[in-house]
Each structure stands twice: as structure tokens, then as C-alpha cells.
Structure 1
Amino acid sequence: MKDIETRLDIGLLMSEFYNRLLADPAISYIFTDVAKIDLEAHLPHLTDFWELSLFHTGNYKKNVMQLHLDLNAKESLTDTHFDIWLSHFNTTTDTLFTGSNAEKIKTRALSIATIMKIKIQSA
């Protein structure tokens, strides 16, 4: 296996990750019934976000925290949801990639999930 090296690698990771999330009934309803995401339209934004987070490049401009606060107002995002999300993120990353960037993106995901949980609980 190789490390995450390009935007295409991040796109593959996001596609596989969301396929796992959408197949998990414990969390899929948040994306399908609450947020009602169009995955094909959403994937480029996810890739932009993680490209900026991992490589400090790209053009992600949205306020990811506010998007999740708005989502939480519709459906409470619980510690369990974050744990499931993080588990799928880590498993997908480990299935597809190995190396320093793969470890870095998992660390960033943990940091982001932790910050979001804290901000959502204090909102």
C-alpha cells in the first residue's frame, strides 16, 4: 500500500469512507434523512476540506463547524455518532493507505471530532 499523496488519493478515501458511513444504519440516517446530502455533489467539498487539512492546499472556504452546529440543531450529534464516524474513518484509511500522511489524516480526524464534540456540547 502507498501513502496519501494527492488530491485523487483523498477523493478515493472520501468516496470509500462515505460508502461505509452510508451502509451503517447507526449513522447513515444523518446523511440521508437529516442532512439529505447528495453524495456526488458533496464529495468535492469533502475532498477540498481534507486536502486543505492535510496538504494546506485547495480552496475550502466553508465554516465546517457551523455546518455541523446547524446539523446538530436538526438531529443531536452524540458521542456515539462521533465514535462511529471516527471508527469508519480510521478503518477506511487503514484499508487503503499506509504512511505518515495516512497517520496524519487520522490524527486530524480525531482532533476535529474532539473539537466538534466540545463545541456542540457547549452550544
Structure 2
Amino acid sequence: MADLKDISTIEDIQQMVNSFYANVRKDELIGPIFNDKLQDRWEPHLQKMYNFWQTILFDVRAYSGTPFPPHKQLPVDKTHFDRWIAIFNTTIDAQFAGPITEEAKMRATNMAFMFSHKIEYFRNQGL
């Protein structure tokens, strides 16, 4: 097996995002939630994700916005976020290896943890 390269270009981010969401769309637990929410708006979502990850990993100001609000009302809980992270890590580990790859996995894990806890908090508060 050939050595895997690290994430280093926008094309790598596009590959990461496209393959990750291809796996998400097929997943029996979280796929229906994403497909129902996005319907025919996958392309704009993918573009937003390219920009988001470019900002996070390369410190390029391609994304502006607040990622939490669109997720706040989704019918998800910790189980869904655990699956999201499992798919993310499996997908990325099959394609890339290196410090930026590890940074992406750490950032995704932290984001999933935060989103899961914030959603639970808002639900418990009746917000």
C-alpha cells in the first residue's frame, strides 16, 4: 500500500468533503437526516464545506458564518454525532495521513462534541 499524503490543497479538501458526504448520504442512521434537510441543495452545501475546511485547516478566510444554527433543530443526538465522527475518521484515514489530517479529525471531533452538547442543552432548556 502506498504512503498516504497529508491534506495540503483545496483539491484535497474537496476530495475529503466529497467522499465523506458520499458516505454520509448512504448511511442508514444519518443519511436520511442529511438527505431530507438538503434535498436538492447538496452542491451549495458541499461548496460551503470546502470553504469551511479551507478556513479551519489552511487559515484562509473562505468561510464566514455560524455553523451551529442550521444544526440546532435537527432530529439528532449523541448517537448521530458519534456516527458522523466514525464516518469522518474512516473516510479521511483511507485517503490521507499527516499533521493536517490529524488536525482535521481533532477539529471534527471537537465540533461534534460541542454541537451535541449545545443541542442537548437547548432541548433541556426548551429553547
TM-score, normalised to structure 1, is 0.91
Deviations 1:52-86 (A, max 9, x none): 111111321121011111xxx2x421111101100
Q: Which has the larger radius of gyration?
A: 2
Maintained 8 Å contact 1:31/1:37: no
After TM superposition, the structure 1 = structure 2 runs for residues 38-117 of structure 1, keeping only pairs within 5 Å, are: 38-69=41-72, 73=73, 75-117=74-116
Maintained 8 Å contact 2:16/2:91: yes
TM-score, normalised to structure 2, is 0.88
Separation (CA, whole Å) in 1 of partners of 2:121 and 2:82: 18
Deviations 1:87-109 (A, max 9, x none): 01000110000111111100000
More helix by share: 1
| 1:64/1:37 CA distance change after superposition, 3 Å | farther
Separation (CA, whole Å) in 2 of partners of 1:78 and 1:118: 9
Q: Which moved more, 1:92-101 or 1:51-60?
A: 51-60
CA RMSD of aligned residues (A): 1.2
Separation (CA, whole Å) in 2 of partners of 1:110 and 1:117: 11
Equivalent residue for 2:27?
24
Please report how far the alpha carbon of residue 25 of structure 1 lies from its aligned counterpart in structure 2 after TM superposition: 1.4
Please report how far the alpha carbon of residue 37 of structure 1 lies from its aligned counterpart in structure 2 after TM superposition: 5.3
- Structure 1's consecutive aligned runs of 4 or more residues displaced over 4 angstroms after TM superposition are none
- Indicate the percent of aligned positions where both proteins have the same amino acid: 34
Q: Which runs of 5+ in 1 are unaligned?
A: none
Maintained 8 Å contact 2:7/2:13: yes
Maintained 8 Å contact 2:77/2:120: no
